[in-house]
Amino acid sequence: MIRPLPVMLAILLSLFVTSLTIGAAQVSLRAAGSDAWAALVLMESRLPRTLAVVLTGAALAVAGTVMQQIVRNKFVGPDTTGTSESAGLGLLLMTILAPDSPVWVRMLVASLTALAGSAAFILLIRRLPAREVMLVPVAGIILSGVIGAVVTFIAWRYDLVQYVGTWLAAGGSSGIIAGRYETLWVAGAAAIAAWFAADRFAILGLGDNVAKGLGLDPAPVMRLGLMVVSVVSALVVVTVGMIPFVGLVVPNIVSRIMGDDLRRSIPVVATAGAALVSACDIIGRLVIYPYEVPVGLIMGIVGSVIFLILLYRPTRPST
Amino acid sequence: MSQIAPTTRLIALLALLLAVVSALWVWQGLPDNGRAFILNLRLTKLVGLITVGAAVAVSTVLFQTVAANRVLTPSIMGFDALYMLMQTVLVIVLGTTAYVTLPASGKFLTEVGVLCALAILLFGTLLGKGARDIGRTILTGVILGILFRSADSFLGQLLDPDTFATVQSTQIASFNTIDADLLPWAVGISLAAIALAIRLGPQLDVLALGRNTAVPLGLRHSALVIGALALVGVLVSVSTALVGPVTFFGLIVAGLTHGLAGTARHRILLPVAALIAATILVAGQFLFERALGLGGTLAVVIEFAGGLFFIHLLLKGRVR
Amino acid sequence: MIQIRNVDFQIHGNPILHDISTSIPKGQLTALIGPNGAGKSTLLKLIARLEKLQSGSVRIDGLDLSATPTEKLALVMAVLSQHTHVSSRLRLCELVGFGRWPHHHGRPSAHDRAEITRALELFDLTALADRFLDEVSGGQAQRAFLAMTFAQATDWLLLDEPLNNLDMAHARALMRHLAGLVRDQGKSITVVVHEINYAAAWADHVIAMKDGRILAEGPPADVLTEPLLSRLYDVPVAVGTHQGRPLILHHV
Ligand SMILES: Nc1ncnc2c1ncn2[C@@H]1O[C@H](COP(=O)(O)OP(=O)(O)OP(=O)(O)O)[C@@H](O)[C@H]1O
Ligand SMILES: [Mg+2]
């Protein structure tokens, strides 16, 4: 039996190093110690970008797990529940109403609107007929569409369609290049908070009644979960652009392989998410070198192919 | 049976409604100068809108029947994304000049044919066995949709800007720009496909029961699945070629149809769906282009309003 | 008679059925019993052509399953699956109506409508006929599916766990009714049952399956014995008699 976490960590580390060494300028890691220019390239461009990618992937994947637990449905992710679109709406409103506000204010507002969007989703699905499990993802997709339509409509009226496109179209990746990655640490922190509350989320996933029976008040756990998901989505949309798939797919794969013991699986989910997005970023930088293909696009292709393979791999004989 | 009378009334009512909005569309504010020209323009667009509406509606209802599921639609399962991907591949393979100079009809018919084949191959394997694990099937569809869309944009990035512009012009949803060259073909093909679907009505009713029930009743399940998927492929090609991808419209129309029709019989469901969709499109375009002067935004507003209405239906438990 | 010859079946390379050869007698009520996962549903699905035969052959009243058109088989044999999920929003009368589809293929006659009414009455559903499938209880829905199977009016009935969701009274009524159909109308009925006393009380013939093989078959008195049932379910059971039929005590 191979242990998933060490394997994933090893993969992530090698991807991390690879990410540092590729790019338009030839820089070797060993040279960085002696060569000031190489060190500059590394510290100012490569490292921030690589960290941004790793943080994004990890945080999105964990946010997906949390979302799936609070919704109790495997087919949702932050990008299919209206959360990302809501963040985009907040950002758009700030751009129109208060264009001079500092970045952190915009992010705060985007996080708040994302929170409102996720809360709306939860309210919505709570009122769905109980047995209709498959309607939950559909409700989320529709809600995303509705909010996305509002964003597009406003953007269209204010001639900001192109601008909005950079975050909402798959993988604008503007943030990574511009190096505004520092705020992503907050997303990383939110993911770590989720890990600390892993058991609570696991119990919440069993249903409100079970949680109450075990002496856990579901409401605060739900609120914490919503905050994690919203903060992560908002920060990622604002700095990196929308990256599809990670939050939906990585938790599903990990859960199929190692089950839903969240305390054990969240670290694996985080590393797997980070590794997946890193790999896609690297591919995006190499495929039409020296030009770049946005990471969200590569993510869409690579992620979906891997996922389909996993989904349809023949089940092993049980004996 | 007892519900025939109310359903015929519903169909008559919807047809009347469509006739009224169509008349309004054609004659409202018709200027004296260049009457014939404007009339021609408006008629073309009217026919285009009705065709697209009917094609989207019928393909969605058919697809939900094949999948024996009320939440799957061709666009959720990546059908229109597949069409766009195929178009981009075609441009790359043929080269821009060849693609542009190709006669519209030949190009269109090729695309329809290829999409049909792909649809049968892909979704036939996915749904033909009656989708044991429906969750897995939906997930697969969503994933395929993302895959096709990403692959399409990816190829777009590899193209030079000129070619990219050629491709992109066909791939943004807009009811404003309907390709008049394609229209006769689109109308003919979709009429044939819809007529065939209505003919298959009683069989489709049995298909909707799910494989476990339909096969013992003596239905030729796989053959019908393939046939229905081919029709879906044709109709999705028509609507996507005319106006581009319209993601939620089909879901909304199918939801409305099942909510309003109060029957599961396809001889009624299919015409009702087509009429509802056509009416929404014509009325919507009228409102936006003439009353509000926002001709380009109907697609966006349909997503919005239709989405809200669908959520309302979900909450009332009427969509299944 | 349904003759099953050398049927093997695998799913993803896992063997599910091993070289099954048996026959289901005509004009009798046959009970198919065995623990969960024994392969009962799989065998029934193969006979019902819901799964394709991988090897061996099945003949129903002399009709070779793989050579007979499916429309024709639908007039010979009606099947109720263990898992029925209908996404259409149907009224009970409409669902039951589909049982007549093999006879009219879309153009119901007065006779078909009469049969639907009869099937609804038979299953106590007349009052619920205009309700939607998702507005009735699990047992009522199960009865609607049974009524649909009956409306098909075939010589053969294959029912996979028809007692699912039924209360004691309706379960007993169904078994009585099945036995009556066999006795009075010469129908041949195969049911998968888990409550073994129903098999003991009503079946003419019992087939016991375990791990994809047939462990025993024959009249209830021969099959439903202490050693065999203990072996079949891996739990100790006591077998007594009640009104001349075996009574199996297994709940303590
Ligand atoms: N789709 C499938 N994929 C993999 N294995 C399957 C599938 N369907 C059935 N099996 C396996 O085949 C075996 C027989 O299943 P089957 O449904 O025939 O059992 P059964 O006797 O009807 O049981 P039950 O009483 O629980 O209905 C089981 O071990 C089951 O796990
Ligand atoms: Mg079974």
Kindly state whether A314 is in contact with chain C, defined as any CB-CB distance less than 8 angstroms: yes
**What's the confidence (pLDDT) of residue A263?**
85
Interface touch A170/B149, C-beta < 8 Å = yes
- Answer yes or no: is the C-beta of C233 below 6 A from any ligand 1 atom: no
Nearest by CB: B212 against C78, C81, C107 = C81
B100 three-state secondary structure: helix
Contact B206 C84 (CB under 8 A): no
Residues, Cβ < 5 Å to ion ligand 2: C 41, 82
Cα B301 from Cα A154, distance rounded (Å): 11
Highest-scoring range by mean pLDDT, B137-151, B284-298, C133-147: C133-147
Is the CB of residue A142 less than 8 Å away from at least one CB of chain B?
yes
As a whole number of angstroms, the distance between CA A207 and CA A185 comes to 31
Indicate if the alpha-carbon torsion angle B235, B239, B240, B242 is positive or negative.
positive
- Gap between the terminal Cα atoms of chain A: 15
- DSSP letters spanning B229-256: HHHHHHHHHHHHHHH---TTHHHHHHHH
Q: How far apart are CA A287 and CA A290, in angstroms?
A: 8
Residue B284 has pLDDT above 80, yes or no: yes
Residue C164, ligand 1, Cβ within 6 A: no
CB B255 within 8 A of CB B310: yes
CA distances from residue C206 to A89, A121, B256, C146 in whole angstroms, order as listed: 67, 53, 50, 21
Domains of chain A, each with CATH number or no CATH: 4-312 (1.10.3470.10)
Binned at pLDDT 50, 70 and 90, residue B164 comes out as: low
Interchain pair B307, A143: CB under 8 A: yes
CB contact under 8 A, B217 and C98: yes
Mean pLDDT of B196-203: 94
CA distance C14 to chain A (A): 6
Q: Please give the mean pLDDT across all residues of chain B.
A: 81
What's the pLDDT at A175?
42
What is the model's pLDDT at position A182? Answer: 76
B2 pLDDT tier (thresholds 50, 70, 90) = very low
Q: What is the pLDDT along chain C (252 residues), one digit of tens a residue?
A: 999 999 999 988 889 999 999 999 999 999 999 999 999 999 999 999 988 899 999 999 999 999 999 999 999 999 998 887 777 778 899 899 999 999 998 888 999 999 999 999 988 899 999 998 878 888 898 899 999 999 999 999 999 999 988 889 989 988 998 999 899 989 999 999 998 999 999 999 999 999 999 999 999 999 999 999 999 999 888 888 888 888 888 776
C-beta atoms of B220 and C70 within 8 A: yes
Ligand 1 centroid, distance to A76 Cα (angstroms): 29
Q: Residue range B84-109: average pLDDT?
A: 78
The CA distance from C225 to A298, in Å, is 65
pLDDT of residue C46: 94
Report how far residue B225's alpha carbon sits from residue B123's, in angstroms, rounded to the nearest whole number.
9
Maximum separation of any 2 CA atoms in chain B, in Å: 65
H-run or E-run covering A278: helix A262-286
For residue C87, the chain B residues in CB contact (below 8 A) are 64, 68-70, 208, 210, 320
Cβ of C143 below 6 Å from ligand 1: no
Total count of residues recorded for chain A: 319
DSSP β-bridge partners for residue C7: C20
**Biggest alpha carbon–alpha carbon distance for chain C:** 54
CB A177 within 8 A of CB A49: yes
Q: What is the pLDDT of residue C202?
A: 93
- Residue identifier of the C-alpha nearest atom 19 of ligand 1: C37
Closest residue to atom 22 of ligand 1, CA basis: C41
C85 touches chain B (CB under 8 A): yes
CB contact under 8 A, A293 and B138: no
Q: Give the residue with greater pLDDT, A227 vs B128.
A: A227
**Structure confidence by residue, pLDDT tens digits, B53-77:** 999 999 999 988 888 777 778 887 7
Q: Give the model's pLDDT for residue B171.
A: 59
Tokens of B231: 């029709």
Which of A135, A298, A308 minimises the CB distance to B143? A308
Nearest ligand 1 atom to the CA of C44 is 18
CATH code matching the domain that covers C1-76+156-169+187-252, chosen among 1.20.120.1200, 3.40.50.300, 3.40.309.10, 3.30.930.10: 3.40.50.300
Ligand showing the shortest atom-to-Cα distance for residue C43 = 1
**Which range among A19-23, B264-268, B301-305 has the greatest average pLDDT?**
B264-268
Angle at the Cα of A304 (from B241 to B99), degrees rounded to 5? 30
Q: How confident is the model at residue B319 (pLDDT cuts 50, 70, 90)?
A: very low
Cβ burial, residue A262 (10 Å; 0-12/13-18/19+)? buried
**Atom 12 (ligand 1) nearest CA:** C16
Residue A141 to residue A122: CA distance in whole angstroms: 13
Spatial distance between the Cα atoms of A239 and A110, rounded to a whole number of angstroms: 11
Closest CA to A77 of A200, A242, A218: A242
Q: CB of C87 within 8 Å of any CB in chain A?
A: no
Distance of CA A170 to the CA centre of its chain: 12
* Phi, psi (deg, nearest 5) at residue C24: -105, 120
pLDDT per residue, tens digit, chain A (319 aa), is: 568 888 889 999 999 888 888 766 666 666 666 777 777 767 777 788 888 889 889 999 999 999 888 888 877 888 778 888 888 888 889 888 988 888 788 888 888 998 898 888 888 888 876 656 667 777 787 788 888 888 888 887 787 766 666 665 544 444 444 446 777 888 888 888 888 888 888 888 887 777 787 888 888 888 888 888 888 888 887 777 778 778 888 888 888 777 778 888 899 999 999 999 999 888 888 887 777 777 877 887 887 887 777 667 655 444 3
Type and span of the H or E element at A204: helix A198-204
**Atom 17 of ligand 1 has which residue's CA nearest to it?**
C41
On whether any CB of chain B is under 8 Å from the CB of C116, the answer is no
Helix H, strand E, coil C: the string for C138-200 is HHHHHHHHHHHHHHCCCCEEEEECCCCCCCHHHHHHHHHHHHHHHHHHCCEEEEECCCHHHHH
Take residue C157 and report the two structure tokens written for it.
Answer: 């009935």
Report the DSSP beta bridge partners of residue C33.
C208
Instruction: Spell out which residues of chain A touch residue B308, defining contact as CB-CB under 8 Å.
Output: 146
Distance, CA of A312 to CA of A319 (rounded, Å)? 20
Domain parsing of chain B, residue ranges: 43-316
Domain boundaries, chain C: 1-76+156-169+187-252, 84-153
> Cβ of C235: how many Cβ atoms within 10 Å?
9
CA closest to A134 among chain C residues? C87
Residues 6+ apart with CB under 8 A from B147: A300, A301, A304, A305, A308, B78
B210: left (phi over 0), alpha (psi -120 to 50) or beta: left
Q: Which CATH class is domain B43-316?
A: mainly alpha
Q: How far apart are CA B233 and CA B110, in angstroms?
A: 12
Q: Would you state the pLDDT for residue B110?
A: 84
Return the pLDDT at A171: 40
